[in-house]
Amino acid sequence: MNDREKPMNAIPTPDDGVSGAELERKVYDAEFVTDDAPGRAPNRLRPPWSPRTLGARRWRHAFASLVMAAVLLWRSGPMVRVRSVAAYRVRKIPQDVARLVWFVLRGNWRWLVKFWTWATYADLRADARRARLAGDAEARRAAQELIRSDSQARWAKVGICLHRIVVLVRVLAPVVIVLWALDSWVPRGDMWPWLASVYNGLDAVWTIVAAAGPAVIYTLPVLLLVAAAFEGRDKTPGVGWLVHPDRDDADSWIDERMISKALAHLGISPLNQFFKDGGVLAYTVPARKDGDGTYAQVRLPLGVTADMVASQRPKLAANLGRAALETWPTKGDEDGILDLWVADKGTLNGGAGDWPLLHDGQVDLFKGVPFGLSQRGLVINAPLIGANWLIGGRPGQGKSACLRTILLGAALDPTAELWVYVMGEAPDFEPFAPRLMRYRMGMDDAVAEAALQALSDLLDEMERRGRVLGQQPGRPPKVSRRLADNRSLGLHPIVCAIDECHELFQHPKYGKQAAEMAIRLIKRGRKYGIVLLLATQSPTKDSIPREITRNVSCGVAFSVADQIANDGLLGSGKYRAGIRATDLRMNTDRGTCVAVGVTDATFELVRTFYIPFEDGIDDVSPVVTRAVALVEETGRAIEAPHRLEIEAAPVDHLADINLVMHGERRVRTQVVLSRLAEHNPAEYEGWSPSDLTATLAIDGVRPGKSHGVMVIRAEDIADALTRRDDSSLPDDGERDGETTGTRGVLPAYSLTRSPRPDVGKPRTGRANAAHGKPAETPESGTRPPSLGDIPGSPGESDGTPP
C-alpha cells in the first residue's frame, strides 16, 4: 500500500519504511477522527483505546446511570408520596406554627386547670353540689366524705414524703461531711488506694453531672414546650395536624378528616344538618392502616344509620377518590355505627398469587383450607368442619375454581373422604377422580339420582355418627380431630360437593327430596364432620330452597346481578347493610368474591386463589397425585373405609315425650320440642311441630288447644302408653313376642321422605370415564361406593336406601 492509498488517520509503522523522525512528524500532522462530543477539544493524541479514554468513558457511563437512577427514584411511588407530603407540609408551615403556639398556650392552661381541680377537689365538690341540687343527701354525704378522706390521705402522703427526706438527709449528711473533711485534710497520694479510687469515682460522677447540667437546663424548656403542645393538642377526633394531606393526595391514604368530609357530602339530610350545626363525628376507631387499606369506625349522629350511608356507596367512594369496589361502608355492632374499610388505590386489582399448598404441604380440615386473600391481604383459611358452604355468582366468575380450591385443600387431608357431583357437562373436577370416593358428572337424570342417593346416604351416616358419638365416653357433642383420627369409629370428615346444585334442586323428579335432605344435612350434619359444599349460578328462591340459604354457615358471592341473588347467597339484609357482591364487576373482578361466615368479621372481600386447569395447563393433577400419595402413606384407602356400625338404640318417642313432660299436666308443643331436642339432639334436633304431631298420631294422641296455644296433655300420653303396654302383652295374639324395644325405629326423616319407586332403573350418567373407573350403572350390578357398602349395613344387598 503506498502513502497515497493510506487513510489519513492510519498510523505508520516501521514496516512502512519511514524513519522515527518522519514517524513522529507524520503523527503530528495527522488528525484523529474521534467521536468526542461536539464542543469539546478533540483528543488528538489519545487513541480511543487508551486507558485514559476508556476510564473517562466509564466515568461518563457511571454518571449517566447515576442520573438515570436518581430520576427513576424521584419518580417512584414512595418518592412521589414523600414529595407530596413534603410539599403539603411546606404549604402548611405558617398554619402549623400558629397552631403549635396555640397548643402550647392551651396545654399550659389545661395543666393549670388540672392542678386547680386536683388541689381544690373541684370534681368532688361538683359531685357534692350536684347531689345537693338533686336532693340526694346520701350522695352528697358520700362526696364530702370522699373529699375529707382524700385530703387526709394527701397530707399523710406529704408527711411520709417529708419524713423520708429527713431520714435520708440525716443518714447522708454525716457521710458527706466526713468525706469532704477527709478530702480536704489528707492528700490523695497519702490515702489508702481503695479510698483514693472512691474519690476518683466521685470526681468522675461530678464531672459528668457538671457537663450534663447545662444540657439538661437547655433541653428542659424544649421538652416542656413539646409536652405543653401535646397536652394542648386538638383532641377532637378527625383532627390531625401533622400528616394529613388534602384530597389531592388522597391516593396515598385516608384519614378521619377526609372521611368526615366525604360523609358530609353524601346528601343525607340529618348528616348535612349535623355538619351545618358544627357537629364533629365521633370516631370509635380512628382511621388506621388495616391490611391493604384503611379502617375506621364512626358513631353516626342522630337520625343517621349505617344503612343510609351504605346506600350512598358510589357517592362515598367518589368523595374518597376510590372505586366503589374499594369502598366498604357496612353496619357495625349497632345500626348507628358505621364500619368503613377503604382499600389502598388499585391493590384489589392484583390476584391472590400462588396457592400456598400448590407445591407441598398437608391440610388439617379441622383448621381449614387456604382459599384466598382477605381485603386486608391475609390468607383466609376456609373453615370446613362444622360449616356448610353456598357458593354462587354469575357464569364464569370463578365459582367452580373456588370450589376446586377448597376441595383440593380437603384432598390434602388424608383422613377426608370426598364426594363430587357436577350437575352439568363440565370437566372441572375430572383430575380429582383418583382421590374421590364418589364422582358423577353429567346433565342426565342418573346424575341427579346419584346425588340424591348421596344425600340419603349422608343422612344415614349422620344418624350412625350420632349413635357412635353417643357411645363415646363423656358423650362428646361433636366430632373432633381426635375422634376423626380413630379409624375404628369411622368419624373422619366427609366432604360432599355439588356443583350447579340448582339443577338438582329444580329437578322435576328428585328436586324436592334432594332439597329436604340437603336442609336436614345442613341443619344437623355439621356436628358429625359431614360438610356440604354447594355451588350455583342461580341463587334465587326458586332454585335454592330458602331453608338452605338461611342455614348455610358460609356464603360466598362472586359478581351477582341483583339484591335477590346477593341476599340469597350472603343472607337476608346483607345488601341493605352494605355487603354487596353486586358491586363486583363482571369479568373484571373474576375470582374476587364477598364471603360471610368464613371469619369472625361481618364479611370478607376475598381474592380467591386460582389453581389453573384450562387451556392445556393443569396444576390440579399434581396436587391430586400428592393427595393420593398422602392417603396411601397413612395406610388409608380412598374406597369405603371401615365404619363402626352401632346397633341403633331403639328410640321410644312416646316414652321420651312422656319423660320431657316433667310431670306437668299440659305442656306447649314448642316446649316439648325444645325439651326433646335437649334430651336427645341426634334424634330430635330439627323436629318441627308437624313431626311431633305425626309421631303422636301413630299412638293415637292429638295435641289440643289451651288458651290459644297448642299443648300436649299428660293424661293423653299416659293413656297412650297404657294402651300400648296392654297391646304388647304376650297373650296378645297379633303382637306376640314384640316388645317396645324391638319395634324398630322410625327414622326421623322418614316423615318427609317417600320411597322412590324408580331407584334401580337404568342410569346413563358418566362416571370417571377419563380415569378408567367403571361407570356406576345398575346394569353392572354396582352403585356408587356408598356408606351403605359397609359389610352388614342396611342397603348392602339391593342398593335400596333403608
Ligand X SMILES: Nc1ncnc2c1ncn2[C@@H]1O[C@H](COP(=O)(O)OP(=O)(O)OP(=O)(O)O)[C@@H](O)[C@H]1O
Closest to ligand X by CB, 310 or 410? 410
Q: Do residues 374 and 606 lie in contact, with contact meaning Cβ atoms separated by under 8 Å?
A: yes
Least distance in Å: CB of 368 to ligand X?
18
Calculate the CA dihedral of residues 758, 764, 770, 773 and round it to 10 degrees.
50
Q: Work out the angle at residue 25's Cα, subtended by the Cα atoms of residues 23 and 30, and round it to the nearest 5 degrees.
A: 95
Closest to ligand X by CB, 330 or 397? 397
Closest to ligand X by CB, 253 or 610? 610
Total residues at interface with ligand X (CB under 6 A):
16
Tell whether residue 590 is a contact of ligand X (CB under 6 A).
yes
Least distance in Å: CB of 591 to ligand X?
2
CB within 8 Å of 209: residues ≥ 6 apart: none
Least distance in Å: CB of 354 to ligand X?
11
Closest to ligand X by CB, 317 or 403? 403
Least distance in Å: CB of 360 to ligand X?
21
Tell whether residue 393 is a contact of ligand X (CB under 6 A).
yes
Write out the E strands in 457-526.
Answer: 494-499
Closest to ligand X by CB, 311 or 537? 537
Residue 393 marked as a ligand binder: yes
Beta pairing, strands 604-608 & 592-596: antiparallel
Closest to ligand X by CB, 398 or 466? 398
Closest to ligand X by CB, 513 or 537? 537
Q: Which of 233, 331, 345, 399 binds ligand X (CB under 6 A)?
A: 399
d(CA 407, CA 495): 8
- Give 441's strand partners: 422, 766
Least distance in Å: CB of 537 to ligand X?
5
Residue 399 marked as a ligand binder: yes
Among all chains, which residue has been given the C-alpha cell 387451556?
A: 615
Residues of span 743-802 touching ligand X by CB under 6 A: none
Among all chains, which residue has been given the C-alpha cell 357431583?
A: 421
Cα torsion angle, 578, 583, 589, 591, sign: positive
User: Which span sits near ligand X by CB under 6 A: 168-176, 391-399, 455-463, 751-759?
Assistant: 391-399
Residue 397 marked as a ligand binder: yes
Residue 395 marked as a ligand binder: yes
Residues of span 508-537 touching ligand X by CB under 6 A: 537
Beta pairing, strands 494-499 & 530-536: parallel
d(CA 792, CA 644): 11
Q: Hey, what amino acid is at 721?
A: L
Closest to ligand X by CB, 525 or 539? 539
Q: Do residues 295 and 341 lie in contact, with contact meaning Cβ atoms separated by under 8 Å?
A: yes
Q: Do residues 596 and 620 lie in contact, with contact meaning Cβ atoms separated by under 8 Å?
A: no
Closest to ligand X by CB, 244 or 376? 376
Closest to ligand X by CB, 372 or 795? 372
Least distance in Å: CB of 355 to ligand X?
10
Beta pairing, strands 337-343 & 293-299: antiparallel
Task: Tell me 279's DSSP state.
Answer: -
Least distance in Å: CB of 109 to ligand X?
58
Q: Which three cell numbers, joined as nine digits, stand for 461? A: 351416616
Least distance in Å: CB of 380 to ligand X?
13
d(CA 514, CA 523): 14
Q: Secondary structure of the chain: what % helix, strand, coil (to 5)?
A: 50, 10, 40
Tell whether residue 397 is a contact of ligand X (CB under 6 A).
yes
Q: Which of 240, 279, 396, 799 binds ligand X (CB under 6 A)?
A: 396
Residue 400 marked as a ligand binder: yes
DSSP run (H or E) holding 201: helix 193-231
d(CA 223, CA 226): 5
Closest to ligand X by CB, 399 or 440? 399
Beta pairing, strands 337-343 & 369-373: unpaired
Contact code string over 537-556 relative to ligand X, x by CB under 6 A: x-------------------
Q: Which three cell numbers, joined as nine digits, stand for 65? A: 446511570
Q: Do residues 233 and 241 lie in contact, with contact meaning Cβ atoms separated by under 8 Å?
A: yes
Residue 40 marked as a ligand binder: no
User: Which span sits near ligand X by CB under 6 A: 247-255, 389-397, 694-702, 732-740?
Assistant: 389-397
Q: Which of 374, 400, 513, 599 binds ligand X (CB under 6 A)?
A: 400
Tell whether residue 398 is a contact of ligand X (CB under 6 A).
yes
Which phi and psi angles does 328 have, rounded to 5°? -125, 85
Least distance in Å: CB of 77 to ligand X?
25
Among all chains, which residue has been given the C-alpha cell 370426598?
A: 418
d(CA 723, CA 454): 40
Least distance in Å: CB of 587 to ligand X?
8
d(CA 300, CA 331): 11
Least distance in Å: CB of 593 to ligand X?
9
Contact code string over 600-629 relative to ligand X, x by CB under 6 A: --------x-x---x---------------
Q: Which three cell numbers, joined as nine digits, stand for 413? A: 387431608
Closest to ligand X by CB, 279 or 396? 396
Nearest to ligand X by Cβ — which residue?
Answer: 591
Tell whether residue 591 is a contact of ligand X (CB under 6 A).
yes
Least distance in Å: CB of 615 to ligand X?
8
Quick one: how far is CA 3 from the chain centroid?
A: 86
CB atoms within 10 A of CB 183: 15
Least distance in Å: CB of 251 to ligand X?
25
Quick one: how far is CA 662 from the chain centroid?
A: 45
Residues of span 318-357 touching ligand X by CB under 6 A: 351
Task: Tell me 437's DSSP state.
Answer: S
Closest to ligand X by CB, 462 or 560? 560
Tell whether residue 434 is a contact of ligand X (CB under 6 A).
no
User: Which span sits near ligand X by CB under 6 A: 142-150, 325-333, 392-400, 444-452?
Assistant: 392-400
Cα torsion angle, 176, 177, 183, 184, sign: positive
d(CA 121, CA 106): 22
Q: Which of 201, 213, 395, 573 binds ligand X (CB under 6 A)?
A: 395
What residues form the annotated binding site?
A: 393-400
The annotated binding site for ATP is made up of 393-400
Chain contacts with ligand X (rule: CB under 6 A): 351, 393, 395-401, 426, 537, 590-591, 608, 610, 614
